[in-house]
Amino acid sequence: MSKEKRYKWRREGYRENTKGLLMVNTGDGKGKTTCALGLMMRAAGRGMNCCMIQFMKSKTDRYGEHESAEALGIEVHTMGDGFTWDTNNPEQDVKTSRETWALCVEKMRSEEYDLLVFDELVYVLDYKFLPLEEVISEIKSVREKQPHLHIVLTGRNAPQELIDAADLVTEMKEIKHPFNAGIYAQQGIEF
């Protein structure tokens, strides 16, 4: 679907009347990425221009969200090499994180978006693959220039500085997870 067509669904003066939020989905329970995908689905229905950039998840994999996002006109870029316990190569993880962050910066500065999701960026920060201060300061500077821009960050163990900078922080808390009963990732539920 073309951007022009979706923009027509937005309210007049949308950007001027929007207070962009920095949102963080963190915690050890399931649902951080799923929640961000749900939000993009809602936003796309309002003609908002949405893009998700996925850290860590393997660029060679194709998940259910790729198919659905395409159908809804939501951009998704999956840039990682796989989770760090799979890659076992911290140097490569740092390099790939840098490249992925460069795309995040490009998208933020483009002024083309209403909602940006940086999936698993919090995980990357927790593993110190990217410097926290640099990420926070870039996000702050972009938000000053584009007060309408909503940004969602996902991943476990959000650092306090990120929580302080955010407007909305949600902690997914594990009460029960099928993994602990030997039920592993399933199609359409995890990927």
172 binds, among Mg ion, ligand ATP, none (CB under 5 to 8 A by kind): ligand ATP
CA–CA distance, 72 with 119 (Å, rounded to integer): 18
| Of 36, 51, 37, 49, the residue nearest 8 (C-alpha) | 49
Q: How far is the CB of 28 from ligand ATP (least distance, A)?
A: 5
Q: How far is the CB of 17 from ligand ATP (least distance, A)?
A: 31
CA–CA distance, 134 with 46 (Å, rounded to integer): 32
Measured from the CB atom, is 1 or 168 closer to ligand ATP? Answer: 168
Measured from the CB atom, is 146 or 152 closer to Mg ion? Answer: 152
11 binds, among Mg ion, ligand ATP, none (CB under 5 to 8 A by kind): none
| Residues engaged in binding ligand ATP (CB under 6 A) | 28-34, 120, 154, 156, 172, 174, 177, 179, 185, 190
Establish if 96 lies at the interface with Mg ion (CB under 5 A): no
CA angle 59, 63, 67 (to 5 degrees): 110
Q: What are phi and psi of 47, to 5 degrees?
A: 75, 15
